[in-house]
Amino acid sequence: MEAHLTFFLLCCFTTACYAHNVHLSTLNQTLIVSDSAATGQVLKAGVNNITITWALNPNLTVVDSNYTTVEAKLCYAPVSQTGRDDRKTDDNLDLDKTCPIDITDGPYKRSNNSFTWVIPNNTTSATYFVRVYVINARNHEIAYGQTTDAAKTTNLFQIDGVVSEQKESAAWPVVGNSFGYRYAWLLMLIILIL
């Protein structure tokens, strides 16, 4: 009985974790996004700010009646992701770690959207771009725009802030290198069977 209950709870947890399952590659890039930082500019955390503007691309014929809110996020450029699992890009937005920093959110408007963001003191030193997601009433991302091109090589800016090391526990390299995530799931399955 306990094994069945545990298996049921594990199934519910797994389903809930992946229920969102939205992929960036399936979203329409319908917004035009810009920021006040000059390409390659170095901004100081706690001192400088960035003004972000966004609007629906007028050259597209898009029905935006299901657009309800927007979320602007600060995103790591590929050059700042190299060798960093804590900044890893994934097409599945549930697993993506490219854009961890919330800048602002608010109701969707087709045009004249602007927000000035003071860069917090605790912002990590890295190269960034800005992405704005459009959210529907079910709280799913359905469209986006970003300040850089698809390859994320243009209109990038740097923030001089906190120097950050990749977070690891002292014990994790020993466990992580020998077992990994898939072995942890296998161990959980074996425990359920017993």
14-36: pLDDT as tens digits: 434 444 577 878 788 889 998 88
Average pLDDT over every residue of 1-9:
47
Average pLDDT over every residue of 140-149:
89
The more confidently predicted of residues 46 and 10 is 46
Angle at 42 between CA 85 and CA 53, to 5 degrees: 85
Candidates 117, 100, 151, 110; CA nearest to 134 is 110
Q: What was the pLDDT predicted at 148?
A: 85
Q: What was the pLDDT predicted at 12?
A: 45
Contacts of 120 (CB under 8 A, 6+ apart): 45, 46
Percent of all residues in the chain with a pLDDT value above 90, rounded to a whole number: 39
Integer angstrom CA distances of residue 79 from 22, 108, 109: 25, 31, 32
Average pLDDT over every residue of 7-12:
44
The label of the residue with tokens 């901004």 reads 43
* For residue 168, pLDDT beyond 60: no
Which range is least confidently modeled, 1-5, 43-47, 54-58, 96-100? Answer: 1-5
- The structure tokens listed for 41 are 């500019």
Region of 141 (left: φ > 0; alpha: ψ -120 to 50; beta: rest) is beta
Residue type for position 54: W
Most confident of 45-49, 92-96, 145-149: 45-49
The mean pLDDT value of the chain amounts to: 79
Percent of all residues in the chain with a pLDDT value above 70, rounded to a whole number: 75
Q: What was the pLDDT predicted at 55?
A: 93
* For residue 38, pLDDT beyond 80: yes
User: For every residue of the chain, which 3-state class applies, written as one string?
Assistant: CHHHHHHHHHHHHHHHHHCCCCEHHHCEECEEEEECCCCCCEEECCCCEEEEEEEECCCCCCCCCCCCEEEEEEEECHHHHCCCHHHCCCCECCCCCCCCEEEEEEECCCCCEEEEEECCCCCECEEEEEEEEEECCCCCEEEEEECCCCCCCCCCEEEECECCCCCCCCCHHHHHHHCHHHHHHHHHHHHHHC
Burial 84-93 (b: 16+ CB within 10 A, else e): eeebeeeeeb
* For residue 49, pLDDT beyond 80: yes
Q: Tell me how far apart the alpha carbons of residues 33 and 154 are, in angstroms, rounded to a whole number.
A: 13
Average pLDDT over every residue of 153-172:
69
This prediction has a pTM of 0.72
56-106: pLDDT as tens digits: 998 888 888 999 999 999 999 988 888 888 888 887 788 888 899 999 999
- For the chain, the straight-line distance linking the first and the last C-alpha, in angstroms and rounded, comes to 12
